Amino acid sequence: MTTTSSNIFISTHPITQQKISSLRNAKNSARTVRELISSITSLMLYDVTKDLQLQATTEATSPVGSYTEQEITTKVALIPILRSGLAMLGAASDLLHDAEVRHLGLFREETTLQPVEYYNKLPRVCSVDECVVLDPMIATGGTAGAAIEILLSWGVPKIKFLAICASREGVEALAEKYPQVSFYIGVVDDVLDKRGFVSPGIGDCGDRLNSTA
């Protein structure tokens, strides 16, 4: 991944870029959209998780000799933003099968474009080392910013935000406001219109995933 800012990491992997190009296609079925989002999430998570801490544990035996087992000690919480973030959760939990899953429900009010929180079941005390926020799209950055504020208030030491597509305006504003957060982005688009839509973007993922457009 290349860096446009010290805390923004944009994927340059050819397979990821090909799949994002396929995801943009308006003719895709909901099933295809789900499959592509899951696949892209899996690819991007290898970079998101590359700094997790390993610890040597017990001695074990392979078919040809002894070795020391390795175990990830970083405690991770996966935070899918309802509803479209759920499409990324399966791939993330398959890779991080010991991670906690904590849902946040946020939506963008159509007139004001301001985030509205409608679901939050975070426990009173934070017991994880880092959170990986899952949301396919960053447009204005309002919803992403609201999620980050909630997690900072919760007290999590480290936040990583994984999005498949982002507007340049939205993600750069977030990166400047939250320098302690790492943003992992599949592709950045330059156009963000007055209605808060990114072009060419990937459309309204919630509607595309659930055939509700």
Q: Can 124 be counted among the known catalytic residues?
A: no
- Condensed to tens digits (0 to 9), the pLDDT of residues 166-206 reads 999 999 999 999 999 999 999 999 999 888 889 999 998 88
C-alpha–C-alpha distance, residues 75 and 146, integer Å: 23
Q: Which among 12, 57, 112, 212 is annotated as catalytic?
A: 112
Q: Which residue type does 110 have?
A: E
Question: What tens-digit pLDDT sequence spans the chain (213 residues)?
Answer: 444 689 999 999 999 999 999 999 999 999 999 999 999 999 999 999 999 999 999 999 999 999 999 999 999 999 999 989 999 999 999 999 999 999 999 877 766 767 788 889 899 999 999 999 999 999 999 999 999 999 999 999 999 999 999 999 999 999 999 999 999 999 999 999 888 889 999 998 888 988 886
CATH number of the domain bearing residue 174: 3.40.50.2020
Residue 141 vs residues 73, 75, 81, 135, 194: alpha-carbon distances, Å: 31, 27, 13, 11, 14
Question: How many whole angstroms separate alpha carbon 20 and alpha carbon 16?
Answer: 6
* Catalytic residue chosen out of the listed positions 4, 24, 47, 108: 108
Per the structure, the complete domain to which residue 125 belongs is given by: 2-210
pTM for this model (two decimals): 0.92
Paired with 55 in beta bridges are: 71
User: Of these residues, 24, 32, 168, 207, which one is catalytic?
Assistant: 207
Does 112 qualify as catalytic in the annotation? yes
Cα dist from 68 to 53, 78, 98, whole Å: 16, 28, 20
- d(CA 15, CA 187) in angstroms, rounded, equals 12
195: annotated active-site residue: no
Closest CA to 205 of 137, 134, 106, 115: 137
pLDDT value of residue 31? 95
Contact 150, 117 (CB under 8 A): yes
To the query of whether residue 190 is one of the catalytic residues in this protein, the response is no
Q: How many domains does the chain have?
A: 1
